[in-house]
Amino acid sequence: AAGVIQSPRHLIKEKRETATLKCYPIPRHDTVYWYQQGPGQDPQFLISFYEKMQSDKGSIPDRFSAQQFSDYHSELNMSSLELGDSALYFCASSLATGPYGVTDTQYFGPGTRLTVL
Amino acid sequence: ILNVEQSPQSLHVQEGDSTNFTCSFPSSNFYALHWYRWETAKSPEALFVMTLNGDEKKKGRISATLNTKEGYSYLYIKGSQPEDSATYLCAPSYNTDKLIFGTGTRLQVFP
């Protein structure tokens, strides 16, 4: 079965550079989620989209932005990178069945490991 | 590919019922198992981190056991309350801090 695809799998950037992470949800899934997991930390919810509209927002820095496109893939844009942005970024997708879809089973991608030097 | 399985996929119980979930994971090179409680519109809440075979952790009405040799963990909720309604994720790690999440058990507790 098709899974959530994230690209790239690994990314190395310098401070103050920008990075774009991509997430391709499972076909027919209409909801995507982004999580950040710093070294030794629990995954932190960043942002989610349902039907191309932002549905919820967590602890996402103002330097980060994200969107979901018409084909339901999502991109997380990160600017002015800082050392503290080094983390594993998970994307998950789901098919919404409830009012917000947040309680649906979420399928995570393999994550993008971002290293900021 | 590491396969983490949680069962059941969803569970509906009445308030006051006790319930339990299962997390199965490859035991080779196992390092630690994390359980997360994931409420609607909230970031996952870490419940337990377990590393040793035979470990048992408890937090209020929630407890978990770990068997690293056979690769499974149980999560128990005693006297379920509506506020326990959430998705419960397990995520083992294998010699790194990268967590491999299961698909979760979605618990709904009816008053």
For the stretch A30-89, pLDDT in tens is 888 888 877 756 566 788 888 898 877 777 899 999 999 999 999 999 999 999 999 989
Which residues in A lie closer than 8 A to residue B43 (C-beta atoms)? 35, 42-45, 58-59
Contact in structure between A10 and A112 (CB atoms under 8 Å): yes
Question: Using the beta-carbon criterion (under 8 Å), do A105 and B44 form an inter-chain contact?
Answer: no
> Looking at the partner chain, which of A59, A107, A113 has a beta carbon nearest the beta carbon of B103?
A107
Question: Using the beta-carbon criterion (under 8 Å), do B43 and A100 form an inter-chain contact?
Answer: no
Q: Is the CB of residue A88 less than 8 Å away from at least one CB of chain B?
A: yes
C-alpha dihedral over B81, B83, B84, B90, to 10 degrees? -170
The two three-digit tokens of residue B76, written as one number = 């128990």
For B38-94, the pLDDT digits (tens) are: 776 454 677 887 888 999 999 999 999 999 999 999 999 999 999 999 989 898 877
d(Cα A14, Cα B75) in Å, to the nearest integer? 42
